[in-house]
Chains A and B, each alone.
Chain A
Amino acid sequence: MTCQEVVEVMNRYLDGDLDEHERVLLMEHLKNCPDDQELFERLQRLSEELEELPKVTPPFSLVDSILPQLAEIDALRDAKAAQAAVMDEEWTQAEEAAAAEGGSLGSRRASRKRTGWLGRRTAAWGGATAVAAAAIILAVSLNGPHPNRQTAMLESKAPAAAGNASEYSVQEAADTGGAALKSVEEGTGSSEPATSPTAVSDGSRGTGGGSRTKASTSPPPSARVGGIGGASGFDKADPNISGSANMGGPSMGIAQFPSPPASPSPGMEQGIAGQGLAASTASPDGKYSYTVTGTLLEVFDSGDKKLAELKMDGELQGSPSWSSDSTTLAVEVKDSSGAVKKFKIVAAEGTVEEQKS
């Protein structure tokens, strides 16, 4: 045995990794080599010391100490699920109503249904969408009646031109207050079509009231429905009102929007973000999602069909991020040497490409 081999065998001895034959060889070698014998004894003593390190225990129950946070996580989960259910129901109602009317509006919405956008994709109707929905509600609650109404009017002015305005607005809802407001019209505006302009102002007032009395919480459902009804009412009932309202300064209305906090429930979201939990893994349009299991990153479509996978030979660096058009997932992996590799996964094609830097 060479000296290097002996050191390795000694170490494996300490870990109980030698078979009988190797053990005999080691002992024979040590008998004839005082230097290695001494090293062996030192290593053995070190190993014994390490085994005797105090088995420390926490000074208090860690689980008890995090129970409130766990309860918050549960509450947030439940809230998201409930919100998703409400939104989904609103969609269904809207589509049924629209289909019954059979007008141009109806066909526009029906076409959404055929294209299977967001609301119909239950798999994708999870984290990202629920957050977007929450942002919408927050934006409504933060804004007084006027900007709200003006935006609704502004938006309603060109529904036909905005071919896929719904996708656009909800996608942006998570980011900006202005966009969130737009999505009030497009996103929730589809439920409970109102029949008269009167309903509009009622709805707006209801929403505004909500913002004053319930500063940081969601407005009551009635306020939401009111605002929603208002938007829809304008949408089809009276384009002229939109025109006049625009003269009142829609841009001013938008400029007045406060930037909403990043989350619908700041305390709760911060609590979670602070704990480093993974954010939603769904793409902005909800068509794709990814999961990370150990070193395996997998990309799925909304039907849970696997499209691509990446076996990472290191640790995930930050969170993978979707491109804004939802086609591509960018992933950074740090290997054990500290080198960062960048990958691009094109979901629809199932391709994984390493980006050379």
Chain B
Amino acid sequence: MVEPGLIRAAQQGDRDALVSLLREIENHVYRTAYYILGNEQDALDASQEALIRIYTKITSYEEKAQFKTWVQRIVTNICIDKFRRTKPVVSIEEHDMVFREKQDVEEEVLSAYAAKDIREAIDKLPDHHRAVVVLRYLQDFSYNEIADSLDLPLNTVKSYLFRARQQLQTLLHDYQKGGVRG
């Protein structure tokens, strides 16, 4: 939660406040970009672009919206409009590389689905479905907050999320049955 005072100071031209504000949100911005785009390099590029856009557009933020949804709107738009369109294919090797440090072998065995499988399944979802899942699970957003961020009607958010779960389940079920993913 970013301090409203910090946002206001940033909007009034306090450059230090604006930079501190960016520091507070950079992890959130990156996390969304990472899970929407599915690889570290694009996530870094998209996050940097999002932070720069926030830097230049801070005065256009209005308090009637939540700051965190405004931020997520910017980063999801950049991810979906720009990066995703130009780089639709994500290789499996990249995932392996990214998750090398995070993997805990024992836990992975105990876990029904490997995080890697889930990541890949998420990556197969259509853009907006994936964005809804990312905001729900990586940002802990409510239906309303997701609707505000993605500029979608509430019912659309729900149906995307429910359908995404269904699809993830089917995909993961296939992975499990097939053992090794194709």
Q: Which residues of A contact B (CB under 8 A)?
A: 7-8, 11-12, 14-15, 17, 42-43, 45-47, 49-59, 61-63, 65-67, 69-70, 73-74, 275-278, 291-295, 314-315, 336
Contacts and interface: CB of A to CB of B under 8 A. Distances in A.
Contact of A70 (B52, B112, B169): B52
B31 A56 contact: yes
A58 B30 contact: yes
Given A42-B169, A63-B23, 18 more contacts: A12-B158, A46-B113, A46-B169, A49-B111, A50-B133, A54-B99, A56-B30, A57-B30, A58-B27, A58-B43, A62-B44, A63-B22, A73-B52, A73-B55, A73-B56, A291-B60, A292-B60, A293-B62
Contact of A11 (B53, B78, B162): B162
Interface string B7-35: 00000000100010011001101110011
The 4 closest A-B pairs by CB, nearest first: A50-B137, A11-B162, A58-B30, A62-B26
5 contacts: A8-B158, A50-B136, A50-B137, A56-B34, A70-B52
Contacts of A57: 27, 30-31
A276 B168 contact: no
A318 to B, nearest CB: 10
B124 interface: no
A336 B156 contact: yes
Interface string B148-182: 00011000101001100110110011000000000
A5 to B, nearest CB: 12
Contacts of B81: 315
B162 A7 contact: yes
B150 to A, nearest CB: 9
A53 B44 contact: no
B123 interface: no
B158 A62 contact: no
B106 to A, nearest CB: 15
B161 A15 contact: yes
B49 A63 contact: no
Nearest to B80: A315
Interface residues of B, number: 59
A17 B143 contact: yes
A276 B44 contact: no
Contacts of B168: 46, 50
Nearest to A312: B151
B84 interface: no
B18 to A, nearest CB: 9
Contacts of B56: 73, 277
B19 A43 contact: no
Contacts of A12: 158
B6 interface: no
A63 B112 contact: no
Contact of A58 (B47, B78, B102, B156): B47
B115 interface: yes
Most buried by B among A52, A65, A66, A69: A66
A266 B52 CA distance: 19
A47 B136 CA distance: 10
Given A17-B143, A63-B26, A49 B113 contact: yes
Nearest to B111: A49
Contacts of B138: 53, 55
B165 A11 contact: yes
Given A15-B143, A58-B30, A294-B151, A276 B82 contact: yes
Interface string B106-118: 0000011101001
A314 B128 CA distance: 13
B113 to A, nearest CB: 5
Contacts of A54: 99, 102, 115
A19 to B, nearest CB: 15
Contacts of B133: 50
Given A55-B31, A61-B26, A73-B55, A66 B48 contact: yes
Nearest to B151: A295
B30 A275 contact: no
Nearest to B98: A56
Contacts of B152: 336
- Of the candidates A7, A42, A50, A66, the one having the most CB atoms from chain B within 10 angstroms of its own CB is A50
Contacts of B166: 7
Contact of B118 (A50, A58, A65, A74): A50
B51 A66 contact: yes
A43 B113 CA distance: 12
Contacts of A7: 162, 166
B48 A74 contact: no
Given A11-B161, A58-B30, A58-B44, A315 B169 contact: no
Contacts of A66: 48, 51-52, 55
